[in-house]
A and B are shown apart, each in its own frame.
Chain A
């Protein structure tokens, strides 16, 4: 069965061109970039090129790019560093809808005597900026807020949040894992001190991430050992993956416009048609500014895992913020923080597109999903009551 892959916020296909770029660096050009000989040196030059390409996508300088193993490592490194840099500041701020890579660490910190504030969101998933303003204080070491939400695609005003943070002398970090390559980012004109990105969300392989660190920002490394990454992240460089990420960033820059035109048009059509053909559904964060590739829709009276598995039978890959898929019993923390009504909190499905998504794939989902929802509603005691009430 040919897959229709609409789960690009989970991970993406490695672009063939990216794979070709990295291919020689396994069996042929396998030298260690730190070595003194020519064999390592030629890898070093490609790693440097990769660094420059990543920097170019972010509007940053190459020396502001630190390669890590994943987005989670970048997030952890940023927050830990800030706490070490400001030992006298004991307050950390994040949001209630953050990715676990940030949220879990913050909640662990609160058990170690730090004051942790989680800023709330409104019903559309928008950050409560007034609460943020009232919460940042002179005791705050770091504010970490995501650029865009992985479940809903809702974009936070991170530049404004960074300005509020800087006014109190704290560091500002953003988890931009879902945003990089989908929205323009220019660190040259930004207030943001640190930014995390992850390769496998933008058509590079898994196992490579970046921590952007603004020049002059005090930093304490998370991994210590060798002198790699200017002693800011020890460990032999994952050269092939760095080279791949460089290529992926170059391609992302070239395709940025396409993400916001072609991909967005497909997303909008999918969303509009599903809303037109399925009654009692709501777009999670529909009124907020969102990523061009993401749509999360909650369907009343049905449960997400059942929807996903019926879609999967047809080759359609999507994701759910509902409880049963993850083995947890409550809907996702994002949907709960948004106060999504209990009648549909268990029935949310997220489609996340990419530049490889075709109009035919979108038409298949538009054709197949409404009968799946109707079938599950026929089976659900609440759905039947609803249908009867309509009839």
Chain B
């Protein structure tokens, strides 16, 4: 059982400001049904459009998601938009007397909804929801390129959260943003982003050897498939089998969930790129039926 603080419990059991504001000035939406949590935030400004006079929310999610949303609505009331924008996810967590680290993404969701609402009100362009992956993006309004495909999370967003929360491990990043919490395929990229933010070089990357005997090359291909590729596929219930190696041609067959999967062509290219990065530049991956 989670060790929630009395304040979290109170805001979960007696959430403040649930509902909507029909004539809201600003509305921010983040999350999705598939992601497992979502928040819709309504803000009402005073007649001079300076201060937030009312805030309401609707949340789909766990106890800490509901408590974070409730806390957020209490915190923004009476603040100007700029003052509200200064609220960080740590402020939300602090207001609640702390959140379990695994649940910090709930506070981030609150802060993101607030930012999205204010950005929309100020007329910033808001990108449409994307539907190119399973979940739909958790934060559709975020700029940058997608790092975590499972939860649709971008590099710009990740860097911001890493920086403001001084995160140092990929596990922490998952707790704060969910990124890396699905298939886990983006964890190396998350580590690079952490290193970048920390101003450090990432760990010495594995490099392709200069010269390779045929035997060594075959061994390395098998090793990369076993250690780097198959564990990723298993996470999605898929698998792959090495059928043959003929010069630069590497023949693989997809198994289980990967077999007949519409994106197996994409998966082939990922496998190819990994082999090119780590074994030899001229490798071509072919999918065979057997």
Judged by a CB distance under 8 angstroms, whether B267 is at the interface is no
User: Which residues of A sit under 8 angstroms from B234, Cβ to Cβ?
Assistant: 107, 110
Please tell me which one of the listed residues A309, A323, A327, A380 contacts residue B58 in the complex, with CB atoms under 8 A apart.
A380
User: Which residues of A sit under 8 angstroms from B182, Cβ to Cβ?
Assistant: 329-330
Chain A's interface size range is 35 or more
Judged by a CB distance under 8 angstroms, whether B126 is at the interface is no
Q: A118-B256, A309-B12 are in contact. Are A324 and B60 (CB under 8 A)?
A: no
Query: Is A303 touching B181 in the complex (CB atoms < 8 A)?
Result: no
Please tell me which one of the listed residues A107, A313, A381 contacts residue B60 in the complex, with CB atoms under 8 A apart.
A381
Judged by a CB distance under 8 angstroms, whether B161 is at the interface is no
CB distance from B181 to the nearest CB of A (A): 4
CB distance from B214 to the nearest CB of A (A): 21
CB distance from A308 to the nearest CB of B (A): 9
Judged by a CB distance under 8 angstroms, whether A343 is at the interface is yes
Judged by a CB distance under 8 angstroms, whether A73 is at the interface is no
Query: Is B63 touching A309 in the complex (CB atoms < 8 A)?
Result: yes
Judged by a CB distance under 8 angstroms, whether B112 is at the interface is no
Determine the distance from Cα of A327 to Cα of B102 in the docked complex, in whole angstroms. Answer: 6
CB distance from A78 to the nearest CB of B (A): 22
Query: Which of B29-37, B191-199, B243-251, B281-289 lies at the binding interface?
Result: B29-37
Q: A342-B33, A342-B34 are in contact. Are A381 and B237 (CB under 8 A)?
A: no
Query: Is A118 touching B36 in the complex (CB atoms < 8 A)?
Result: no
Judged by a CB distance under 8 angstroms, whether B159 is at the interface is no
Which B residue sits closest to A112, measured CB to CB? B226
Judged by a CB distance under 8 angstroms, whether A302 is at the interface is yes
Judged by a CB distance under 8 angstroms, whether A189 is at the interface is no
Report which B residues bind A (CB closer than 8 A). 2, 12-13, 15, 18, 20, 29, 33-34, 36-40, 58-63, 65-66, 102, 135, 150-151, 174, 178, 181-182, 226-227, 230-231, 234, 237, 256
Report which A residues bind B (CB closer than 8 A). 96, 107, 110-111, 113, 117-118, 120, 301-306, 309-310, 313, 322-325, 327-331, 336-337, 342-343, 345-346, 378-384
Q: A309-B12, A329-B174 are in contact. List 20 more A-B contacts (CB 8 A).
A: A107-B234, A117-B256, A118-B237, A120-B237, A120-B256, A303-B65, A306-B62, A310-B13, A313-B13, A322-B36, A324-B37, A329-B36, A331-B36, A346-B33, A379-B60, A379-B66, A381-B39, A381-B40, A381-B58, A384-B20
